[in-house]
Amino acid sequence: MDFAKKKAEKDEWYTPQEAIIPILKYLKPNSMIWCPFDLEESLFVKILSKSGHTVINTHISNNGDFFKIHIPECDYIVSNPPYSLRNDILQRLFKIGKPFAMLMNANGVFDSDLRWCLFRDNNFTFIYLKKRVNYMAVYGEKPKSSPPFQSVYICSGISDKQIIFEEQCKTINNTKRWFN
């Protein structure tokens, strides 16, 4: 097992639907979206698909190593990547040059020299979610507690604004939808 796979396996947390729904309005209808850190049961895959997008999902457990895989044809790259690899992930995403939205831990986002330079030298948007995202350790299980960090979508090519504030929500267009 290589180093990236070992680190990513310890970083496997699943995103609830209320943290995914706010990103939908920033994606053009009927887009092709690559979810590079997602299994078929991912709520990113389910919600994006049910919202009319075509979704390509890959995951390291299915030989879909983000750092080695051929980049599929897509309009956007959207996911909740492994936090421990965020420097390498952001560096690769900016190099790929496609619009992306990655839900990440906001703590210390400017602390590393590498991230500082990436954000200084590239157009980006932060979409802050009002409440902390309660990630799931296992799909379908309620989270045990709120994490000690705020989450933010780190984006490029999604909006002309640099900072956007959104609320987590459990509805799409005022219609309650559950994607379990």
pLDDT score at 133: 87
Beta strand residue intervals within the chain, DSSP E = 32-35, 54-57, 76-79, 100-105, 125-129, 151-156, 163-166, 171-172, 175-176
pLDDT score at 1: 43
Coil vs helix vs strand at 179: coil
Q: What is the pLDDT of residues 14-66, one digit of tens each?
A: 899 999 999 999 999 999 999 999 999 999 999 999 999 999 999 999 989 99
Domain extents in the chain: 3-176
In terms of Cβ atoms closer than 10 Å to its own Cβ (0-12, 13-18, 19+), residue 68 is: exposed
- The number of helices, as runs of H, and strands, as runs of E, in the chain is 5, 9
For residue 94 the two structure tokens come to: 């900016």
pLDDT score at 52: 97
Assessment of whether the complete model's pTM goes beyond 0.85:
yes
pLDDT score at 40: 94
Q: What's the CATH number for 3-176?
A: 3.40.50
Helix axes 113-121, 86-96, angle to 10 degrees: 20
| Residue spans of the chain under pLDDT 70 | 1-10, 144-145, 148, 171-180
pLDDT score at 179: 45
